[in-house]
Amino acid sequence: KVVLLDCITLWLTNFFFDFQKLTVDEILQMAITEFDKFILSEADLLVVTNEIGLGGHGENETARKFTDLQGWMNQYIASKANEVTLMVSGIPLKIK
């Protein structure tokens, strides 16, 4: 069984805006708790995300907070993954 989770950025956006009254750290912990449920599945999990931290600096506080949140979530997912591949212009770069 294979599960494709596409995409973490959109999924995380829902957490970010649904729980705006919480801190970024609290939202991150909620997202990690939910993501860990996927890991418990016996299926092979393919995760698609965006590396938004490589772009320009967010123009407002909300954008900067979300960029940080996305980066921390990506780091967590990568730490749990058996393999990590960064796609650049359609070229796969093996990270892990």
Query: pLDDT tens digits for 12-51?
Result: 999 899 998 999 999 999 999 999 999 998 999 999 999 9
pLDDT at residue 28 in the model: 97
Structurally, how many domains does the chain consist of?
A: 1
At 54 the pLDDT is 86
Q: So what's the pLDDT on residue 45?
A: 94
Name the residue range of residue 50's domain.
2-94
CB atoms within 10 A of CB 70: 22
Nearest CA-CA partner of 65 in 33, 31, 17, 29: 17
Q: Answer yes or no: pTM beyond 0.85.
A: yes
Asked if 38 and 45 count as a contact pair (C-beta separation under 8 A), the reply is yes
